[in-house]
Amino acid sequence: MSSFGDMQIALPGEILRESIDGLLAGSGTYVCEGGSLRSALAGYVVEETMEDGIMRVCVAVRQPAGGESVAADVAIAVGDIVLCRCAKIMANQVVCEILACNDTQLRTKAKGVVRREDVQPTETDQLVMADCYRPGDILRAQVISLGDKNQYFLSTAAPELGCRFARTKQGTYMAPAAAAQQQEPRKAAVAVATFE
């Protein structure tokens, strides 16, 4: 999680707590099968103590005190890690809307493209893009080229890159899992520990 002043900022799919023991999942959060509490939204982490003494963790989308904006104008560069939302799936590429760059929410959304050869490191000629990603998926990707003036070229080939937040066809939330445990053919990101 990033911080803005005294407030903690969470991005979709980010682990808020490893265990929900003694906690209640509030709005903007969900519980994964492994028992971890994750953020469903980009926003501020809010902890509230209920009347019965149980702590409720919520993620709220709101302006910080003083009217300052969390979003910033950031120059995206080659090598940056971005969070983006899949907008359009085509036969050879996925068109995305870049939402954040290096843990900073973008004020002005940018357009990114993940080409078939940049989804995974091997066997790219056999990929069906619609099986890898779906519209609405939140991806963690790396900028590999500035492209042209309209879009950035992105890659999800590294293990820690790929789908971070998605829903199945049945509408349930998906979480990143080990390759052997994946039940869908999507290119999911392996969850990585963050050290502060």
**Comparison of pLDDT for 174 and 157, the residue scoring more:** 157
More confident residue, 54 or 47: 47
Helix (H), strand (E) at residue 38 = strand 37-39
What residue has token string 């929410």?
105
- Do 41 and 112 reside in the same domain of the chain? no
Q: How many domains, in total, are found in the chain?
A: 2
Q: Residue 116 in contact with residue 130, Cβ under 8 Å?
A: no
**Residue 38's closest CA among 120, 108, 138, 123?**
138
Q: Does the pTM exceed 0.75?
A: no
Domain that holds residue 104: 81-181
d(CA 90, CA 129): 7
CATH number, domain of 41, equals 2.40.50.100
Domain check: are 92 and 14 in the same one? Answer: no
Residue 195 has a pLDDT of 32
Clarify whether residues 126 and 175 are in a common domain.
yes
pLDDT at residue 193 is higher than 50: no
For the stretch 3-52, pLDDT in tens is 444 567 777 778 888 877 777 777 778 777 777 888 877 777 877 777 77
Kindly state the DSSP code that residue 187 receives in the 8-state scheme.
-
Do residues 106 and 100 make contact, with C-beta atoms less than 8 angstroms apart? yes
Please state the rounded mean pLDDT for residues 174-178.
57
Query: What are the tens digits of pLDDT across the range 154-171?
Result: 998 888 888 887 777 666
Q: Tell whether 88 and 32 lie within a shared domain.
A: no
Please list, in sequence order, all residues whose beta carbon lies within 8 angstroms of the beta carbon of residue 151, skipping any fewer than 6 positions away: 95, 110, 111, 112, 113
Domain assignment present for residue 186? The answer is: no
Same domain, 164 and 108: yes
Statement: residue 79 has pLDDT above 80? yes
Classify residue 75: in a domain, yes or no: no
Residue 173 and residue 86 share a domain? yes
* pLDDT of residue 63 exceeding 50: no
- Token pair, residue 58, equals 């919520």
Let me know if residue 47 belongs to a domain.
yes
Q: Which of 67, 94, 118 is the last residue of a domain?
A: 67
pLDDT reported for residue 191: 52
